[in-house]
Structure 1
Amino acid sequence: MALSPDDWKRPRPGADGYRRDALVAAALVVASLGSGLLYRAAIDQPHAPWWGSLLWALVIAGSLAFRRRFPELVALIVGITFVVGQYVGIYEQLFANICLFVALYTLGAWSQNRLLATVERIVIAAGMVIWLLSVLIYQGLTPDSTPGISRDGLFSQFMAASLISIVTNLLYFGAAFVFGNASYTAARQREALEQRTQELEREREVSSRQAVALERVRIARELHDVVAHHVSVMGLQAGAARRVLGKSSETDPRAVDALTQIEENAREAVDELHRMLGALRQSDDTDASRSASTRGLEQLPELVADAEATGLPVTFTTVGTPVPVPSVVGLSAYRIVQESLTNVRKHGGARATADVRLRYLGSEIEVEVSDTGTGLNPLARHSSAPPGSAGAPGGLGQIGMRERAAAVGGEIVMEPKPRGGYRVRAILPVSPRPIGESA
């Protein structure tokens, strides 16, 4: 269950993140020491001994190595060290301010205790501003502390410099506060987006699996019609043969017994099919399932005519010498062409045309639907996923076409054409092969 914004805790970085913090801290230690040497040469004031400067640099910059592990503690240490350095003869300002800014920013960006982070930043910023104001007031009351700086007039040199210092510090602490909070908020939104993306991916996988299951149910229902029809015919023919043979006095009784057994087995097979798959007929498209076994290659011209009636220009061509095709194979070919034409109407664009071709290749048949559509075709997406998987390419229609081709041991290729449009080509064996057997 997703956490509310108040309950969310920003995860700590991994080992790589801590290593980067250590490298940044080491670089700031070196930079602070180098900058301290420059300030020693530039300021004519008593300075702290070298070991004091080294210790100061190690604390104010080195502690940043732990800034994302203990942001509250590090910000407090850096703030105290910053102030102490000013009173022990360490006048380095450049990298001291950078270290303090980084510590305050990290406190806002990574602290898991948001109330403590807010209070601590306000206390540090207020303390720094009060310290600055006290120094400015002292300098204003003791002109000897800043000789050579004019104090005459409302906007004197001293007043201008004081205002610049106040505004600079307010912007400095305000930026650390705002940017730290912005980083924390962005991390929270990023994690929420990642969680939503994962949820959508799971939903998509569930929808894909459901689509595969529904299509398999539909195929099973149609196979039930086809198989039940043929088994019933077998039983009727066996019964007729038994009655004819029974009227002949020269008929071997064993032949009559065998035919009787065939007839009984056929009846039992039909009854078993009805018992096992009868529940599949409870869906809303019962009427369509009843006529499923009547759909095949002979109905392709009707399908093309229906498509043309909806305004899609379609040409239909038959190549080769027609051969008898099993009902299951003919039904699969019909459904593949039907789904392909539906896709052209939906996504091909207003000016799309389609070409349907049926080729008899001896032991195989090939159905091809090619269009000149210019619209976005969903079948062109994710073409690398394995067929029938939850991440199968294309939409639900393509999943169904792949299932139908696989059900009769055939192959299907769906691809965009080099000069525009889309092509669906299925090769189906005249004698259906078991699923999984290579063509």
Structure 2
Amino acid sequence: MQAKVLPSLRRLAATNTFLVDLLLAFLVTGTTLAFAFALSGGAGDPEHARRPMDALGVALTLAGNGALAWRRRAPLTVLAISCAAAVVFHALGYNAKLNDAAPLLALYTVASRRLPAVSLPCALVVAALWWHAALLGPVEFMWPNIAQVSIFVVLAWSFGTSTRMLVERNGLLAELTARLRRDQEDRERRAVTEERVRIARELHDVVAHHMSVIVIQAGLARYVFGSDPDTARGALATIAGTGSEVMGEMRRLLAVLRVENGDGDDGYEGYDPTPSLQRLEQLLERVRAAGLPVRVTVTGTVRPLPPGVDLCAYRIVQECLTNVLKHAGSATAQVHLHYGAELKLRVRDDGRGPAPGDDEGDGHGLIGMRERVKLYKGTITAGPLPSGGFEVVVTLPLTSPGLDAAPA
């Protein structure tokens, strides 16, 4: 039963603060009146009171202590009312021990809701009220009473100020937490966007090249289907092989996206080798089978490359040859690789180049190449040649730190 009542009371106190303050005012008023009538019984308390408790004293007590019900809504007003009622109460000769708690509680409220520039003068007013009450008592206890009430006032003001600072600090922490949460959400959204761009770039690199080969070979097979069955069968075989390879590439890419724990639970046992310049000849065979003559020259000392740079170079060659297939018409292509302190890659053709209104002329393919090269701190230039055709020149550093760890 108690476990249910206490949470209910906490929720009530949090949602209805006026009710809590009203109960506090009722408690303080009742306690003060009980002490007042107890001290007024018999001969009274001649050392602290020259006048017995009557209706006027009860009214002043109700006014000074009952105002605490509005202490959070109007703290300065409540402090003024409680201090005024206490001063009048003491000045009329009632017991000087009474009606001092309400100003102290009101001072705590003011200190917890106002800056020291406001609360500190209020503390001096309450201290003056308590000193006045101490002066009305016996002379031999005057200084101990003044010291005691001074300590009470300092404690009330200090607790109120500490409460205000704690509330402000909690507010700042809550604001900082909300800001950090928003920043984290922004970072997550950016990460998702970057991942989508990366996936889109990979899908474009994989699909665009293979589908271009398939389309060209399908057109060739249809054209020579009746007149040259052997050529048509070769084109169909190329389509089958290219289709199988693109399905393998797609399966590998989707497996990378799906695998979480790397334990092969989704039925995919492993990955195909990552495309690299070591597999460049397979790419060239497909392109040649599609009808594009390609000549490759290699200079410098051939050596293993960092995985990220190797994949980047392969994808750039793939994208360049795909663009030649799609846009250059009847053309030949040249691929030149130079291994030095940096990898220099040059792909050129002698075709007609992309049409002015063709989106792929500076579309996803060239944008993807620029993003890849930028990732590895390289440079890229692309444009038509004066004698006709198109050329792409890429330079990728091989000695920069961190290339081995760069994401593929």
With structure 1 as the length reference, what TM-score do the two structures score?
Answer: 0.49
Question: How far did 1:49 drift?
Answer: 5.0
Q: Does residue 98 of structure 1 match 2:82?
A: no
Match of 1:70 in 2: 74
Q: Structure 1 359/84 Cα, relative in aligned 2: closer, same or farther at 3 Å? A: closer
Match of 1:307 in 2: none
Match of 1:81 in 2: 85
Q: Is the 8 A contact 2:107 2:122 kept in 1?
A: no
1:223 is aligned, of 200, 203, 226, to 203
Q: Is the 8 A contact 2:97 2:133 kept in 1?
A: no
Q: Is the 8 A contact 1:67 1:74 kept in 2?
A: yes
Question: How far did 1:217 drift?
Answer: 0.9
Q: Is the 8 A contact 2:60 2:85 kept in 1?
A: yes
C-alpha distance in 2 between matches for 1:91 and 1:366: 92
Q: Is the 8 A contact 2:40 2:53 kept in 1?
A: no
The one-character-per-residue Cα deviations of 1:218-246 (angstroms, maximum 9, x if unpaired) are 11111112221331132132133034226
Percent sequence identity over aligned pairs: 29
Tell which structure's C-alpha radius of gyration is larger. Answer: 2
Match of 1:184 in 2: 164
Q: Does residue 33 of structure 1 match 2:13?
A: no
SS of residue paired to 1:90: coil
Q: Does residue 327 of structure 1 match 2:249?
A: yes
Q: Is the 8 A contact 2:75 2:109 kept in 1?
A: yes
Question: How far did 1:201 drift?
Answer: 0.7
| Aligned counterparts, 1:301-340, within 5 A | 326-337=248-259, 340=261
AA aligned to 1:237 is Q
SS of residue paired to 1:69: coil
Match of 1:357 in 2: 264
Question: How far did 1:171 drift?
Answer: 0.5
The one-character-per-residue Cα deviations of 1:83-126 (angstroms, maximum 9, x if unpaired) are 322233432736x2322210111111123x65233222223324
Match of 2:220 in 1: 240
C-alpha distance in 2 between matches for 1:134 and 1:34: 24
2:61 is aligned, of 49, 57, 61, to 57
Match of 2:378 in 1: none
Question: How far did 1:52 drift?
Answer: 2.0
Q: Structure 1 37/366 Cα, relative in aligned 2: closer, same or farther at 3 Å? A: farther
Q: Is the 8 A contact 1:48 1:88 kept in 2?
A: no
| Aligned counterparts, 1:127-146, within 5 A | 127-129=129-131, 131=132, 134-135=135-136, 140=139
Q: Is the 8 A contact 1:32 1:92 kept in 2?
A: no
C-alpha distance in 2 between matches for 1:82 and 1:359: 80
The one-character-per-residue Cα deviations of 1:255-288 (angstroms, maximum 9, x if unpaired) are 9xxx9xxxxxx9xxxxxxxxxxxxxxxxxxxxxx
Question: How far did 1:23 drift?
Answer: 2.2
Q: Structure 1 359/175 Cα, relative in aligned 2: closer, same or farther at 3 Å? A: closer
| Aligned counterparts, 1:388-407, within 5 A | none
Match of 1:117 in 2: 119
C-alpha distance in 1 between matches for 2:266 and 2:183: 40
Q: Is the 8 A contact 2:104 2:153 kept in 1?
A: yes
Q: Runs of 5+ in structure 1 lacking a partner? A: 1-12, 141-157, 250-254, 260-265, 267-293, 299-323, 342-355, 368-439
The one-character-per-residue Cα deviations of 1:293-345 (angstroms, maximum 9, x if unpaired) are x9x9x9xxxxxxxxxxxxxxxxxxxxxxxxx96532321213555x756xxxx
AA aligned to 1:98 is A
Q: Is the 8 A contact 2:83 2:126 kept in 1?
A: yes
Match of 2:394 in 1: none
Question: How far did 1:359 drift?
Answer: 6.1
C-alpha distance in 2 between matches for 1:61 and 1:176: 17
Q: Structure 1 124/100 Cα, relative in aligned 2: closer, same or farther at 3 Å? A: closer
Q: Which runs of 4+ in 1 moved over 6 A?
A: none
Tell me the C-alpha RMSD between the 2 structures: 3.6
The one-character-per-residue Cα deviations of 1:45-100 (angstroms, maximum 9, x if unpaired) are 56445422331221111011111122112112212222322233432736x23222
Q: Does residue 213 of structure 1 match 2:135?
A: no
